Chains A and B, each alone.
Chain A
Amino acid sequence: MATFKDFRNNVKPNWCPGCGDFSVQAAIQRAAANVGIEPHELAVISGIGCSGRISGYINSYGFHGIHGRALPIAQGLKMANRNLNVIASGGDGDGFAIGMGHTIHGLRRNLDLTYIIMDNQIYGLTKGQTSPRSAAGFVTKSTPGGAIEPDVKPLELALSTGATFVAQGFSTDIKELTAIIEAGIQHKGFSFINVFSPCVTYNKVNTYDWFKENLTKLSDIEGYDPTNREAAMNTVMQHDGLVTGIIYHDTETPCYQSKADRFDEQALVGQELMMGETKFNELVKEFM
C-alpha cells in the first residue's frame, strides 16, 4: 500500500518559504495515502495561480489547466473515468472570481470529486491585487483606498447552492485538514473544501497569527451536527465564516453519475468504440 511518501515527486515547489500551500500539498498527500489509493489512481487538476502549481508537486496524474477552469476539466475527466479519484484545486481568484460560475454549477451538479480552494484572500501570482475573498476595506495594489466590494462567503455560498459536502480547513492544522480531505475523497459527491492558506508575501492582515486568534474548531462546539443544513448555516453566520471542520455532510443525495439516465457503471474509457453494423443500421433507418 502506498504511503504519503509515494505521493511526493522530485519537483521542488517554487512557492515562497512559509506559504500556506506547502501544508495543503502535504495534507493531500497524507489523505490520499490514508484512504488507500495508489498514485496512478489519483488525478489532481488545478487552475492558474501560485496555488495552481500544486498539481505539479504531487506524484500523481496532474493537469495544470487555465485560470478558473480546473472544475470543468476535472468534471470532464470524472465523466470519462469514474474509477479515478479526482481532486480539483486552485486559488480563491480561480474559484471565486474568474471561475465562480463553474464553482456554483459544480456544486449543483454534484459529480463525485473533491474541490480544494487554497484561499489566501489575495492574488498571489500576479503580485498582490484584491481577490473576491479580500474583506471590504482591504488595501492592496489594486485597491489603494481599500476594497469597496464585500467579500464572497464561500461556506454560505456552498450551503445555499446544493452542496452535499462543505468543509473548511486551516493549512497549519495538517491533522484536521488531512481528515477533512480524506472525508472529502470518500464522500460520494462533490466535496467543497475551502482552506485558509496564508500568503506570507502579500497578505499582511490574514496571517497565521490572525487565524489562530480568530478561528473556531467545529469539534469544539458541543453537539454540532453536520447533517443539519440550517444549523450549519447558522453556525457559519454566527462565526462570520471563521470555523474549521466538516460543516455539512449530506450522505443521502446520490451523485450526478448515479442519477444520469443509464450512465455506465464502469468507466466510460473502457468501452468499445465501434457500435457494430446492426446498431448502426438501426440508427440510419430512423432517418428514412
Chain B
Amino acid sequence: MLHQLSWKVGGQQGEGIESTGEIFSMAMNRLGYFLYGYRHFSSRIKGGHTNNKITVRATQVRAITDDLNILVAFDQETIDVNYKELSAQGIILADAKFKPKQPEDCEAPLFIVPFTEIATELGTSLMKNMVAIGATASLLDLDDSVFQSVVNEIFGRKGEVVVEKNMEAIAKGHEVMNELLGDRVGEWKLVEADGKRRMFMIGNDAVALGALTAGVRFMAAYPITPASEIMEYLIKKLPEFGGAVIQTEDEIAAATMAIGSNYGGVRAFTASAGPGLSLMMEAIGLSGMTEQPLVIVDTQRGGPSTGLPTKQEQSDLMAMIYGTHGEIPKVVIAPSTAEEAFYDTIQAFNIAEELQLPVILLTDLQLALGKQTVEPFDYSKVEIRRGKLVNEVEAPEVEKEYFKRYEDTTDGISPRVLPGIPHGIHHVTGVEHDQTGKPSETPTNREMQMNKRFRKLDALRFDMPIYTKSPHEEADVLLVGFNSTRGAIEEVQERLATEGIKANHAHIRLIFPFPTEEMQVQMAKAKKVIVVENNHTGQLANIIKMSAGGHGKIQTINKVDGTPFLPGELHNKVKEMLN
C-alpha cells in the first residue's frame, strides 16, 4: 500500500505525453485524490524530451516529490534522464518499440511492454498512451471503469467506436501488465481516497476564471509562455458574456488597450511574462499617473531577456515593484496556490478600481502551469467593489467647468466618472495635471497631486497579506517564500517537525506595499529567518530587509537552474544552515 504515488510519463514532445498525463490525472482526481503536476518541456513543439510528473495522494499536496514510483517511458531518453529519481520501490514501464536498455547502475526493475504494438493491433499506434494507462491501472490495481467518464469526454466527439477502442486499449494494457507482474499485482495500490469531486486546474485557469468572475469583459494580450492559457480560456468564454479578447500586435498595445477599456468603465486586463512586462513599463506609469485602473498578470519565467522561457524562476519581483520611470503607487499581489490565485485575481480588480491604480498579479511558471487539485471555489465569497464610481453628475455652476476627476480628497481617492456621462467632462493626461486633469506644472500643484496619489495606498485593505503556519512562539527557524514554493516549504516544515526542529512558515501574499508589521511579528518569533526563492540575488530577502529589517537574521536559499525546489533538496539545505 502506498500513501503517496509519484508517477511520471516521458517521451518526445508532440507524442501525446501531455494527454497521457492528463487522462491519468483526471481519472485519479475523480476518485477523490489530490494531485500536483509538473511539466518539463522545452521551447520547441515537436521533438525534445518532455515529461509530466504527477504526485497523487489522499490528502492535500502542493509539491513535486523528490523521488518517483513509476516511470512510463516512450523513449530511451526518458529512462536515461529520469531513472535516478526512482525510489527503492520504483519501477520502469517502457515501450518495447524502442528496445529499451537498462542503465548499468539502475536497480529499478524494467518492464518492457509492447505499448505501440498493442495499439497498432487495435487500429492505431496513437493509442499507445492508452495502453500505458492500462498498464498503470494494473500496477495500482484500479478498475478500468475509472477511466470511462474521462475517455467519454475526450473522445466522445469522435464517436462511440473511438471511445470503445480507447477503452479496449486500456483493458489490453491492463491485461498484459497483469501477466508481466504475476504476483506483484497490487503492490503499488494507493490508500483509498474520499471520492469527493474537486477541481483540478492550472494556476492560469484559476486566474482566468477569477477574472471572468470579477466581471472582466475585455482582455488584450499577446501570446507568451507561460501566460497564454489565460487568454485562451477567455477567448473561449468571453463571447458567452458579450465580451471579447483582442490578440494585439504587441504588449504595449495590450496594456494600453486595457487602460483604454478601464477608462471606459469596463474591467479589462492583460497577462504576460518577463519580456512582455518589460514592454509594458511605460503603460504602467500611464495607469499610475492618470489613475486608470489596470490589472496585469505576470507569470514569471526564467529571465533575463528570453532567458529560460519554459522554466521556473521568481526574478521579476523588483521590476514589478519599482518598474516604470518616476514614482507611482502600485500594488503587487503574489498568490501561492490556484485557490489563492482565483480569489486574489478578484481582489486585484477590486483594488485597481477602488484605488484607481495599476495592480500586478504576480505568479510563476510552476503555479501558472502546474496542475493541482483545488476545493471547489465558493461564489458566496465573491464580491465586486468598484470604489468611487460616479454615475450621475450635476451641471456645473460655471458653464464648461471641468469635473474634478483628480480632486484632492482626504483619502487621496477622487471621484471617477466615465466618458459618456453628461457634465462629467474632464481631461486625462500623463502630464502632471490639476484637479480637473488639465496640465499644470506649478510646484504647489505637483506636490499636492503627488501626495494625493500616494495617499491612496493607505486605504488599501488586504486580508491575510502573509499566509502563515507558525505554531511556535520560539521557533528555531522561520521559512519564508512567495508563489509556488509554498508546497515545498510546507513539506520541509513537516519533516523538520519530526526531527524536533521548530520551524514556522510565512508565505508573502501581498508583496507591495510590504506588510512590514506582520512580518516583524513573524521574524521576532524565530532565531533565524531563511528566505527561499528562485532567483540569484535574493530579491524577496532584500525587500524584507528594506521594509522590516532583520539584516543579521536573514539568510537565503536561492535556486536558478530553472526547476522548482524539491522538498528533499530544500530540507537538506535548510538543515545545513541550521547546523
Contacts and interface: CB of A to CB of B under 8 A. Distances in A.
Interface of A: 8-11, 38-41, 43, 45, 55-56, 59-66, 69, 71-81, 83-84, 101-102, 104-105, 109, 260-264, 266-269, 271, 273-275, 277, 280-281, 283-284, 287-288
Nearest to A261: B239
15 contacts: A11-B438, A40-B424, A61-B426, A69-B283, A71-B253, A73-B260, A76-B256, A79-B244, A79-B260, A81-B266, A101-B253, A261-B244, A268-B264, A280-B382, A287-B209
A283 B428 CA distance: 38
B268 interface: yes
Given A69-B252, A79-B244, 19 more contacts: A40-B420, A41-B420, A61-B419, A63-B263, A72-B252, A73-B256, A76-B220, A76-B263, A81-B264, A81-B418, A83-B420, A101-B250, A260-B239, A261-B244, A273-B214, A273-B215, A274-B215, A280-B379, A287-B201
B534 to A, nearest CB: 27
Nearest to B209: A283
Q: Which 4 A-B residue pairings sit nearest by Cβ, starting from the closest?
A: A76-B260, A273-B215, A80-B264, A264-B242
A56 to B, nearest CB: 5
Contacts of A277: 379
B70 interface: no
A101 B199 contact: no
Given A75-B260, A288-B376, A271 B242 contact: yes
A61 B431 CA distance: 16
A268 B244 CA distance: 10
A64 B252 CA distance: 16
Interface of B: 29-30, 197-201, 205, 209, 212-215, 217-218, 220, 237, 239-244, 246, 248-250, 252-254, 256-268, 282-283, 286, 290, 374, 376-377, 379, 382, 384, 400, 402, 418-431, 438-439
B242 A262 contact: yes
B256 A40 contact: no
B239 A62 contact: no
Main secondary structure of the interface of A (DSSP, over half): mixed
Nearest to B393: A40
A76 B259 contact: yes
Given A56-B439, A81-B419, A73 B259 contact: yes
A84 B429 contact: no
Nearest to B249: A105
A66 B400 contact: no
A267 B265 CA distance: 10
A79 B438 contact: no
Contacts of B430: 64-66
B242 A263 contact: yes
A287 B257 contact: no
Contact of B282 (A62, A66, A283, A287): A66
A55 B420 CA distance: 15
Contacts of A287: 199-201, 205, 209, 374
Contact of B217 (A102, A268, A284): A268
